[in-house]
Amino acid sequence: MSSTTPTAHTTTAATPLVIPTSAAMTWLMGTTALAMIVYYFIGVEQGATAIFNGAQVHEFVHDARHFLGFPCH
Amino acid sequence: MEKKLIFSGLLAGAVGGLTAWIFALLFAEPLIDRAIAYEDGRAAAQEALDRAAGFAIPAEEGGDVVSRGIQSTLGLGVGLFAFGLAMGALFAVTYAVCLGRTGQIRARPLALLVAAAGFVTVSLIPFIKYPANPPAASNDETVGDRASLFLLTLVIGVLVAVIATAVGQQLKLRLGTWNAALIAGAGFVAVIAIALLILPPLGHLDANVAATGAEHNTETPRALRDPDGTIVFPGFPADVLAEFRVYSVAAQALLWAVIGLVFAPLADRLLRSGQRPGVAPPQRETVGI
Ligand SMILES: [Zn+2]
């Protein structure tokens, strides 16, 4: 089934066996990456390292950063 | 399925983050106020000492970029809410990976186990070695080292937890679930304990040894003394430090508990509906055909 040449009628029937796992991986990996970026901005940005100049991000989430145990001042 | 699980995780994380926000408003903010009062008092005492010694007093820096009023309410809330979302998302990913790979644990107990693993690896293990500090209880110069060490404890915890889980699954075939779980769990605790013992206490960081002249265990501010050795301002208040740390770890336990408890019934429903694809749709919907 999966080796049939893709034509207008067979593609939709032939691919579902393959797509779900890779699609699931994309969703799981993408979600993990986004969550880690959020984690970084709450916990580390404009502290130990900085992507943006200034202190707005650090100062805005400052109390949460301390309370969640991230190193600060 | 994975999209629905991730959505459920985000929902659980949102509820957990809001819960942590309310908790923090009640318990953390009064302590942060006391820590900032200490910071101001100590700065004034230091300035008086410097003035007496004839040092130039640096000009006052410009006011706060974000006001304390915003930091202690909205900023606190956005930070905890976003952290809750991020943890809910990571929780859902872990849950999805565990499904079908961790034996026959059912949907709801698995949610509680993954939440417990999240608490232990993300919150508890870093906390044991490098506990949360209120403002003014750390040395600014060591923030880079402290961030590296904090994240290192987290990475070690996650890696060892993954390995322990995989080993436990292998042992289960020979020893049964109970004994395999005990052995994998004991191995996890032993490896983590050794790793935490090897990692340096914050007081041993070069900048702290240079500043205090000795290898203290922590970098918590000690009493401020004048050139004669008389104490002119006390060390950081122990009660504020202790209470802040208790509430910090309690808030994270609360966050993970809420994530597990909100996610469990959602996952249970999702997996039940997914388990019976062959079941005919309810009667009412087929009537028109
Ligand atoms: Zn701070």
- pLDDT number for residue B281: 47
- pLDDT number for residue B62: 58
B140: which residues sit within 8 A by CB, 6+ positions away?
A: A73
Q: Does the beta-carbon distance from A48 to B130 stay under 8 Å? A: no
Residues B247-261 have a mean pLDDT of: 98
Distance between CA B202 and CA B255 in Å, rounded? 27
Residue B1 CB neighbour total at 10 angstroms:
14
The larger pLDDT score, comparing residue A9 to residue B25, is at: B25
Residues B113-164 pLDDT 10s = 999 999 999 999 999 999 999 999 999 999 999 999 999 999 999 999 999 9
Contacting residues of A for B134, CB less than 8 Å apart: 66
Distance between CA A32 and CA A11 in Å, rounded? 30
Residues B67-74 have a mean pLDDT of: 94
Distance between CA B208 and CA B204 in Å, rounded? 7
Distance between CA B273 and CA A24 in Å, rounded? 18
Which residue of B34, B36, B39, B66 to mutate against A (max A Cβ within 10 Å)? B66
How far away is chain A from the Cα of B131, in angstroms, using its nearest Cα?
6
- Residue A4: what are its φ and ψ, rounded to 5°? -65, 145
Q: Does A14 touch chain B (CB under 8 A)?
A: no
- pLDDT number for residue B218: 93
Banded pLDDT at B56 (limits 50, 70, 90): confident
To the nearest 10 degrees (0 to 180), the angle between helices B76-98 and B2-53 is: 140
User: Looking up tokens 């957990």, which residue turns up?
Assistant: B16
| pLDDT at residue B14 tops 90 | yes
- pLDDT number for residue B273: 85
- pLDDT number for residue A19: 52
Structure tokens at B232: 């002119």
- pLDDT number for residue B287: 41
Number of domains making up chain A? 1
How large is the ipTM?
0.91
Q: What is the mean pLDDT of chain A?
A: 81
- pLDDT number for residue B286: 42
Give ∠ CA B185-B187-B192 in degrees, rounded to 5. 100
Please list the residues that pair with A49 across neighbouring strands.
A45
- Domain holding A46, by residue range, is 21-67
- pLDDT number for residue A13: 53
Please list the residues that pair with B225 across neighbouring strands.
B231
Banded pLDDT at B54 (limits 50, 70, 90): confident
Pick from B58-67, B120-129, B172-181: least confident? B58-67
Residues B266-277 pLDDT 10s = 999 999 986 655
Banded pLDDT at B63 (limits 50, 70, 90): low
Q: Does A52 touch chain B (CB under 8 A)?
A: no
- pLDDT number for residue B285: 44
Kindly provide the b/e burial profile for residues B148-183, where b requires at least 16 CB atoms within 10 angstroms of the residue's own CB. Answer: ebbbebbebbbebbeebbeebeebbeeeeeeebbeb
Q: Which residue among A24, A36, A56 sits closest to B66, beta carbon to beta carbon?
A: A56
Banded pLDDT at B82 (limits 50, 70, 90): very high
Structure tokens at B262: 């909100």
Residues B226-241 have a mean pLDDT of: 95
The larger pLDDT score, comparing residue B114 to residue B215, is at: B114
How far away is chain A from the Cα of B180, in angstroms, using its nearest Cα?
28
In a domain, A4, yes or no: no
Cα A73 to middle of ligand 1, angstroms: 4
Banded pLDDT at B11 (limits 50, 70, 90): very high
Contacting residues of A for B6, CB less than 8 Å apart: 27-28, 31
Q: Does A33 touch chain B (CB under 8 A)?
A: no
Q: What is the mean pLDDT of chain B?
A: 92
In a domain, A44, yes or no: yes
Give ∠ CA B164-B170-B176 in degrees, rounded to 5. 100
Q: For residue A68, which of B11, B81, B141, B65 has the smallest C-alpha distance?
A: B81
How far away is chain A from the Cα of B134, in angstroms, using its nearest Cα?
6
Q: What is the length of chain A? A: 73
Q: Does the beta-carbon distance from A71 to B130 stay under 8 Å? A: yes
Structure tokens at A4: 């049939």
- pLDDT number for residue B134: 97
Structure tokens at B31: 């302590």
The larger pLDDT score, comparing residue A25 to residue B164, is at: B164
Surrounding residues of ion ligand 1, Cβ less than 5 A: A 72-73; B 135
Residues B41-51 have a mean pLDDT of: 93
Residues A18-39 have a mean pLDDT of: 87
